[in-house]
Amino acid sequence: MSSPGGLHFTHIQAFLFFALVISVAFGFLGRRQPKDRVKYILWSFLLFLAVGIGIGWLMYPFSR
């Protein structure tokens, strides 16, 4: 997945980047206390991973 002269991300890198950035934004907007924010960010990030990988596996039988 290359684009000439631009930024190169593999599928998993793009997925992890997206999940991390959005989780951090949600954590800071949704919680006030630092400890709550860290917990929210981690929980949101893990859910992104679980749902993304889960949907990937669900689509696997139809990918060929």
Partner 1 sequence: MEELDRVNEPRQEALPTELTPEPVGVDGQAPAENKAWGVAIAGWLLPGLGHALQKMWGRAVVVFLTVGLLVIAGALMRGNLFTARGSDAFDALGYAADLGTGSFYLLARALERNGADVSHAGGDYGTRFLATAGVLNLLAALHAYEAARGRKA
Residues binding partner 1 (CB under 8 A): 1-9, 11, 14, 17-18, 21-22, 24-25, 28-29
CA distances from 6 to 2, 3, 9, 10, 18 (A): 8, 6, 10, 13, 17
Q: Which is nearer to partner 1, 14 or 46 (CB)?
A: 14
Question: Of the two residues 29 and 58, which places its CB atom closer to partner 1 in the complex?
Answer: 29
Nearest residue (CB) to partner 1, 14 versus 42: 14
